[in-house]
Amino acid sequence: MKKSSKHYKFINNNTGNAIYYYSISDDLEPKKVKEELEKVQAKVAIQNGIFIETVFWEEIKD
């Protein structure tokens, strides 16, 4: 049986462009999901040379 997951996109607030996509298991509790997304947010900001405040995430709904 496959595990379900939630999919997120990270967006540069200045341009409105999606700059990273990430998936997280549905099994995690909401607090852990937020912690994981914050880590990815920091990583994406560093990799793209932009301020962390300009990167936000949004869940991709099917």
pLDDT tens column, 10-58: 999 999 999 999 999 989 999 999 999 999 999 999 999 999 999 999 9
Q: What is the pLDDT of residue 4?
A: 85
First-residue to last-residue Cα distance in the chain: 20
Among left, alpha and beta (phi > 0; psi -120 to 50; other), residue 59 is: beta
pLDDT at 62 over 90: no
Q: Is the pTM of this model over 0.75?
A: yes
**How much of the chain is in helix, strand and coil states, percent to nearest 5?**
35, 35, 30
CA gyration radius for the chain?
A: 12
Q: Tell me how far CA of residue 49 lies from CA of 41, 45, 54, in angstroms.
A: 12, 6, 11
